[in-house]
Homo-oligomer: A and B are copies of this chain.
Amino acid sequence: MAARATRQQIVDAADELFYGHGYAQTSFADIAAAVNISRGNFYYHFKTKDEILDAVIEKRLEDREWLLARWDETSDSPAARIACFIRIVIVNQAKIMAYGCPVGTLTAELAKLEHPSKNKANAIMALFRDWLIRQFIDLGHEARAEDYALHVLGWSQGVATLAQAFKDEEYITREVEKILGWLDGLVPGRAAKT
């Protein structure tokens, strides 16, 4: 098998396993079993476990960049784009209820490990923040763009955490509706509503 393909399989499997079981708790044996290669073969592609983590973080970053770029292309208003972001908690409902937010839980874990790559993981969170800031600027809220962006991002993290703890679909739906209402009030030319 081509090195590229195997490497890709390793990264994909590690991504899933890190999300489902956590980074520290996922062993080489787990990843090797998922990809159906030997533990030894592993080290041809990655010299250390940290290298795999870096590759996973980079993959996640690229995945999210691609997703945001798609929303930029397909939605024609900033409010519609922000709504896309808000609705990921519904789109990914099942996984979020099982494992929480992949970005939030990874940054939390790496912070506790004081892992060298924690800043790289935080960059994914920053990617969302900066994208949201741009949307709120486009929406005409330049002065409060960062405030609003962090509000939405924090909202998503809170919903993911509680969705995981309580497995309550109704809660997710209600929260999405509430924040979409809030967002609606920020669209220029609309009356603000509570």
Which positions in A face B, CB cutoff 8 Å? 20-22, 24-25, 98-100, 104-105, 107-109, 111-113, 122, 125-126, 129, 147, 150-151, 153-159, 161-162, 164-166, 168, 171, 174-175, 178, 185, 192, 194
Given A21-B113, A158-B158, A147 contacting B174 (CB threshold 8 A): yes
Is the Cβ of A22 less than 8 Å from the Cβ of B112?
A: yes
Given A111-B100, A174-B147, A194-B194, A161 contacting B164 (CB threshold 8 A): no
Report 16 cross-chain contacts, Cβ distance below 8 Å, ordered by A residue: A20-B112, A22-B109, A25-B112, A25-B113, A99-B112, A105-B112, A107-B164, A108-B164, A125-B166, A147-B174, A153-B162, A154-B161, A154-B175, A157-B161, A157-B162, A158-B158
Cβ-neighbour of A165 out of B100, B125, B155, B194 (below 8 A): B125
Q: How many copies does the complex hold?
A: 2
Chain B residue, CB-CB nearest to A99: B112
Q: Which residues of B contact A155 (CB under 8 A)?
A: 154-155, 158
CA distance A153 to B175 in the complex (A): 12
Chain B residue, CB-CB nearest to A21: B112
Q: Which residues of B contact A192 (CB under 8 A)?
A: 194
Q: Which residues of B contact A150 (CB under 8 A)?
A: 162, 166, 168, 171, 175
Cβ-neighbour of A22 out of B24, B156, B166 (below 8 A): B24
Q: Which residues of B contact A125 (CB under 8 A)?
A: 162, 165-166
